Amino acid sequence: MTSSKTRGFSLLELLITISIGLTMAGVTFMALAPLFKQSHVDTAYDTTLSVIREYRNQSISQSKRYILTFTNPGTITVQYWGVGVPVSPAPVTVATYTLPPDIDFQVQAGFPAAAPDSFGNGTSAIDFDQGMGLGSQNYIMFMPDGSSQDTLGNYNSGVVYMTQTGGDVFTSRAVSVFGTTGRVRGWRLYNKSGNTWVQQ
């Protein structure tokens, strides 16, 4: 025989418990959403910075030429360009890197005209070959001496910007490359007496 006092949860108690759990989950998700977005920007920045530095170092250590091409919305293609006489062979793709889907190479309203390392004016998302009268080139080529050049042999300085589509302008990042030395620097946008790029 079963006791009449033995009973489980009522339907009402179960619904209340589920609604409290869903409310807590929703509040937690809303609190963590900005952190997830920030982590995507950080991932894109770290990837771009590390890829540029890695292939500059490989160019020096292996005495090779590597071309890094930046393509919207967020792809970095790395090619090895061998040396031949009298004509070099076609570049060979060795790696492709993709930024998180909500992060693009792009500029936003609010970017200052004073670009990182004074390369350009902050209006082109991928802005290499500065000082050559060209600008807005989408690639850099690291040489065995560590310098960054274009395919014509000119020193290739410039900057690439990363930002979240429709996101806060102050989550934006930039990476600059100085042609003569191949120096690579990372930047973040801050509101300091007006919008300013600050080296990271």
H or E element at residue 77: strand 75-80
Cα distances from 113 to residues 109, 128, 165, 191, in angstroms, run: 11, 16, 20, 14
CB 98 within 8 Å of CB 141: no
For residue 108, pLDDT beyond 80: yes
| Assigned token pair, 80 | 């090895």
This prediction has a pTM of 0.79
* pLDDT tens per residue across span 11-63: 888 888 888 888 888 887 776 666 566 678 899 999 999 999 999 999 999 99
* Bridge partners, residue 75, by sequence: 71, 98
Higher pLDDT, 168 or 128: 128
On the 0-12 / 13-18 / 19+ scale of CB atoms within 10 A, 35 is exposed
Using DSSP's 3-state secondary structure scheme, residue 6 falls into: coil
* pLDDT tens per residue across span 62-78: 999 999 999 999 999 99
CB 56 within 8 Å of CB 142: yes
* pLDDT tens per residue across span 173-191: 999 999 999 999 999 998 8
d(CA 183, CA 91): 23
Closest CA to 166 of 75, 13, 37: 37
Phi, psi (deg, nearest 5) at residue 39:
-65, -30
d(CA 168, CA 95): 31
Cα distances from 95 to residues 30, 120, 121, in angstroms, run: 36, 28, 30
CB 65 within 8 Å of CB 141: yes
The DSSP annotation for 16-80 comes to HHHHHHHHHHHHHHHHHHHHHHHHHHHHHHHHHHHHHHHHHHHHHHHT--EEEEEETTTEEEEEE
The residue-averaged pLDDT of 77-87 equals: 90
CB 184 within 8 Å of CB 175: yes
Domains, the chain, in order of start with CATH, read: 33-199 (3.55.40.10)
| Assigned token pair, 69 | 């091409």
